Structure 1
Amino acid sequence: MNLSDLTLIQDIARHGSFAAVARRREVDPSSIGRLVAAVEAELGFRLFARTTRRMELTEAGGLYLARIAPLTEELDRAAEESRAMQSEPRGTLRLSASATFGQKFIVPRLASFRRTYPEVAIEGLFTDSNVDLVADRIDLAIRLAPAIQGDCIAAKLMDTHYRVVAAPDYLREAPPLARPEDIAHHRAILFPYRDYRSRWIFRDANGTVTEQQVCGNLVLSPAGAIRDAVLAGLGPALLPEWLIEDDLANSALCSCIEGWDVTATSSGTAAWLIYPNRSYLPAKVRAMIGFLRGSIHKEA
C-alpha cells in the first residue's frame, strides 16, 4: 500500500462518497471503487459500509483512519519541507575541496556566503584525497585537474595557472633560474603526485613546448606546505597562482622562468565544480555554485 492509497481513503471518508472523490480527481467512479476494494482486500477488513443510498466508515475503518492520520500528516509535512529545500537555500551543505584550496579559496568566502544564506549550514571536508561523492554524502566538490572523468556532473569554475617560484634569499645563493633548462641545476620542492614530481612542461609565446625533468629530495603535501617550504628558502616549486598571488605582490616570493607558461600535466588545469546529479539539484547547492562563480567574476 502506498501513500496515494492512504490519501484516497481519507478523501472518501471526508467527502462521503466515491462519486464526489471521482469528480475531484476527474476519474471514473468505478475506478475509485476498484481501488478501495483492493485496499480492503490487502487489509483484510472493510473500511466502508455502503448501500445504494449512503456510505459510512465501519468501526474498523474509523480506527484505521484515526491511526494513519498522523502518519499521512507527517509524510505531507516531510514532502513540503523537502520541496522547500529545493526552492529556498537551507539545510546542511557538505562541501569538499583539496586541503589548501579549501583553506585559501573557500574559507575566506564563507562569511559573505553565510550573510547571504543564513539558513545554510556548511560542513567542509578539505582533503587531497578524492572523496566518493555518494558514499561520503558530498553535495558539491571542487577538484583541480585538466579534466574530470567519472559518473558525475562537472562544470568549470575557473582556469588555474602555475608559476615556478622561489624565495629571494634562495635565489641570491643558487644558480640562475631564468630558462626551463636551468631547473636541472636545482633541487625542487615536489608534490607527491606522479606528474608533479617527475617533469614540468613549459610553453613559450610561440607555443613551443619544452619538457624538463625535475628532481628534489623534499616531497610535501598539501600545496600549502610546499608554499611554506619555498618561503623558508628550501628550493623552488611549481605552485598555483591562486595560492601565491599575495606572496608575489609583496615580494616574499619571486616568479622564475618568466615568459613561459608552465604546467605539470600535458594540458592546462582548472578548478571544477562536481556534483552527483543534475536532476533536482537542491537550492543550497545552486546557491553555492552561483556564489563561487560570482565571487570569481568580481575578482577578475
Structure 2
Amino acid sequence: MLPDFEAWAIFARVAARGSFARAAEDLGLSKPTVSKAVARLERRLATPLLHRTSRRLSLTEAGKSAAEDAERIVRAGESAEAQAMAASAAPSGTVRLAAPMSFGLAHVAPILPEFLAAHPDVAVDLHLADAQIDLIGEGFDVGLRIASLADSRLRARRLCEVRRLVVGAPAYFERMGRPERPRDLAAHSCLGYAYLPGWDRWRFFDRAGAEEAVTVSGRLRANNADALTASVRAGLGLAVQPAFIVHDDIAAGRLEEVMADWAMPPIALHVVTPPGAFRPARVTVLIDFLVRRLTAAPWARPLTEAA
C-alpha cells in the first residue's frame, strides 16, 4: 500500500501545535477529521504516537521520532509542489511571515500594501510576537529576527545592523543630568526591556574596545520595547531602545541620545527561512521586497559600517 501521506501531514501539524484543535484550525479541517487521521496512522504503525489526557497532548517516544519523519515528509511534498508550480506560474498563494511586535507594527505592516498591490495573487499571513517563533514547527515561510543569531537549522540573511541607543527626554536630563559613561547609569532611573537576557545588566564597549558593565534599576519593566516609549518621553527614566523605535523621536527632539561614544554588543536584522534549497516564488518575491525596503530605512545602519 502507498503511505498515508495525508495522515502523516496532519500528524506533523498536531505534533507541532500540541493540540488537535489548533492543528484543525491551521489546516482548515474539523477536529474529528484531524483526530481520526492520527488514529488511522497509529493503527497503521501499530504504536501510539500521542499521550492523550483531558488537558493536554504529548508525544510518546515513538511519536517524537515519527514527528521528525512527518516534518521531513511535509517539507519534501511542499518543495516538490512548489518546484512544479514555479516553472509555469506567477507568484501565488499565502506566505506566512513572523516578525517582532514593535518592529512589525512600525516597519513591516506599513509597507505590505505596496507588496500586495504589486503581487495580486499573493497573500500574507503576518504574525507579530516578541517571543521567538519556531518557524519550522509552526509552519512559517519567513521570519524577521533582530538579534545576534546563534547557529541553527534556519537559513539566515543579515540585512543591516540595528543600533541600540541610550535615550531620555530633555526634561529628564535637565532634572537629573546626563550620564557620560556606563557606570554613571547606576545613579539614574533605567527602564528595562524584559526579553533581554540579564535585562538589568547593561554592557557597553567604547571605540577602543574597552568594556564596561553596570547594573541598573528603575520603576518600569516591560516585555515590549514600545511599551517603554511613553514613560521615556514623560521623563520617567532612561531606556536602551533600538534605533528603529526612537529614530523619529530623536529627529523631532522628543528624545535625546547620550553616551554616543559607547555601544552595546551589536545586533542585526535578519531574514530567516526554513532549511531547503528551493523557495516558492511567492516567498522569494516577499524576501526580495523586504530586503529592498528595510535596508533603505533611515534607521538601518549598512553592514559595511557595522562593528
Q: Please report the TM-score for the alignment, with normalisation by the length of structure 2.
A: 0.66
In the other structure, the counterpart of 1:283 is 281
Greater Cα radius of gyration, structure 1 or 2: 1
Match of 2:221 in 1: 219
Helix, strand or coil at the partner of 2:197: helix
Task: Name the residue aligned to 2:165.
Answer: 163
What is the rounded CA distance, in whole Å, between the counterparts of 1:80 and 1:236 in structure 2? Answer: 52
In 2, distance between residues paired with 1:290 and 1:198?
37
User: Shift in Å at residue 80 of structure 1?
Assistant: 7.8
Q: In the alignment, which residue of structure 2 is the partner of 1:174?
A: 176
Q: 1:239 aligns with which of 203, 217, 241?
A: 241
Counterpart code for 2:254: A
- Note the C-alpha offset of 1:207: 2.0
C-alpha distance in 1 between matches for 2:196 and 2:248: 28
Structure 1 counterpart of 2:10: none
Cα deviation, residue 297, structure 1:
4.1
CA distance in 2, matches of 1:80, 1:240: 40
Matches within 5 A, 1:2-21: none
Task: Give the share of equivalent positions with the same residue, in percent.
Answer: 30
Match of 1:293, SS state, is: helix
CA distance in structure 2 between the partners assigned to 1:297 and 1:187 by the alignment? 33
Q: CA separation of 1:214/1:83 partners in 2, compared to 1, >3 Å: closer, same or farther?
A: same
CA distance, structure 1, for counterparts of residue 198 and residue 225 of structure 2: 11
SS at match of 1:195: coil
For structure 1, list consecutive stretches of 5 or more residues without a partner in the other structure.
3-78
Letter aligned with residue 128 of structure 1: D
Higher mean C-alpha deviation, range 189-198 or range 137-146? 189-198
1:168 shift after superposition = 1.2
Partners of 2:233 and 2:83 in 1: CA distance: 49
Cross-structure match for 2:109: 107
**1:97-144: per-residue Cα shift (whole Å, max 9, x none)?**
110011112112112211222211111100012222123211101111
Does the 8 Å CA contact 1:198/1:213 hold for their aligned counterparts? Answer: yes
Paired residue secondary structure (2:214): strand
Distance 1:103 1:279, change over 3 A: same
- 1:129 alignment partner AA: A
Match of 2:85 in 1: 84
**Secondary structure at the residue paired with 1:197?**
coil
In structure 2, C-alpha distance between the alignment counterparts of 1:141 and 1:173, rounded to whole Å: 42
Distance 2:198 2:101 in 1: 17
Task: State the shift of 1:194 in Å.
Answer: 4.8
Say if 1:228 and 1:89 are closer, same or farther in 2 by CA, change over 3 A.
Answer: farther
C-alpha displacement of 1:169? 1.6
CA distance in 2, matches of 1:172, 1:218: 21
Moved over 4 A (4+): 79-82
Cα contact 2:200–2:216 (8 A) shared by 1: yes
Tell me the CA shift for residue 246 of structure 1: 0.5
Give the length in aligned residue pairs.
220
Of 190, 193, 196, 2:195 maps to 193
1:45-64 alignment, distance < 5 Å: none
1:130 to 1:81, Cα distance in 2 relative to 1, 3 A: closer
Change (3 A) 1:121 1:279: same
Task: For 1:140-151, list aligned pairs within 5 A.
Answer: 140-151=142-153
Which residue of structure 2 lines up, in the alignment, with residue 293 of structure 1? Answer: 291
RMSD across aligned positions (CA): 2.2
Aligned to 1:268: 266
In 1, distance between residues paired with 2:132 and 2:270?
13
TM-aligned CA deviation for residue 174 of structure 1: 1.5
Query: What is the Cα deviation at residue 279 of structure 1?
Result: 2.4
Structure 2 unmatched ranges of 5 or more = 3-79, 299-307
Write the mapping of 1:246-265 to structure 2, written as runs, cut at 5 A: 246-261=248-263, 263=264
Stretch moving more, 268-277 or 241-250: 268-277
User: Following the alignment from structure 2 to structure 1, what is the Cα–Cα distance between the partners of residues 100 and 148?
Assistant: 15
